[in-house]
Amino acid sequence: MLSLIGDLLTLYLLVLLAYSILSWLTYSGRLDYDSPVFKVQKILAAVCEPVLRPVRKIIPPVRVGGVGLDLSVLVVFLVIEVLISTVF
């Protein structure tokens, strides 16, 4: 049972990584709006945003120059990695 939970957390890390990479691509403005990448990102957002939203309330985006750097993905990623390495 613990092995299954560890595998699901590892899968979630991969989904989180894909979501963050696709968000960089879509915000760059180099893709057409009707691109399949936007559809995939919406699916990944439905999975990732319920976890990221509460973290954003605790740790707001950091202003770097004129850009807001969202650290919630990094925090969730690190917490899951610590869970996997210590518990599973």
Cα–Cα dist 74/62, whole Å: 12
CA angle 28, 44, 63 (to 5 degrees): 45
Number of C-beta neighbours around residue 44 at 10 A = 19
* Domain positions in the chain: 2-86
Output the pTM of the full model. Answer: 0.85
* pLDDT recorded at residue 79: 96
Q: CA torsion angle for 50, 84, 59, 19 (degrees, to 10)?
A: -50
C-alpha distances in Å from residue 47, one per residue of 12, 32, 88: 9, 23, 22
Low-confidence residues of the chain, pLDDT below 50? none
Number of C-beta neighbours around residue 22 at 10 A = 19
* pLDDT recorded at residue 77: 96
CB 87 within 8 A of CB 2: yes
* pLDDT recorded at residue 46: 96
